[in-house]
């Protein structure tokens, strides 16, 4: 399963990237664990996750080509 992962705002700064591809990920909790292993400092930040533009939770199963976004608190306006 190939998924596209995007980081925004302060999370792009913390992870040092705005975009990563992950292969072989089945669920969102698997993905979160892999990202936390790679960027342990991310646990200190508040964020929500959207899959294909919809907020979701840890139990979500991922499909090939899904777009997973890590979204810190919004600050528009």
Q: Which residues contribute to the site for other proteins (CB under 8 A)?
A: 6, 8-10, 12-13, 50, 53, 67, 69, 71-77
Least distance from other proteins to the Cβ atom of residue 44, Å: 13
Alpha carbon distance 52, 49 (integer Å) = 10
State the virtual CA torsion across 29, 5, 1, 63 in degrees, nearest 10.
Answer: 80
Least distance from other proteins to the Cβ atom of residue 42, Å: 14
Whichever of 24 and 75 has its CB closer to other proteins, that residue is 75
Alpha carbon distance 46, 13 (integer Å) = 14
Least distance from other proteins to the Cβ atom of residue 32, Å: 18
């Amino acid at each position: 399963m190939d998924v596209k992962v995007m980081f925004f705002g302060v999370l792009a700064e913390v992870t040092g990237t705005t975009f990563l591809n992950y292969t072989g990920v089945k669920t969102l909790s698997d993905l979160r664990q892999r990202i936390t292993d790679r960027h342990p400092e991310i646990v200190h930040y508040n964020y929500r996750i959207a899959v294909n533009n919809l907020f979701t939770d840890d139990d979500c199963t991922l499909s090939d080509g899904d777009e997973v976004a890590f979204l810190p608190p919004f600050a528009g306006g």
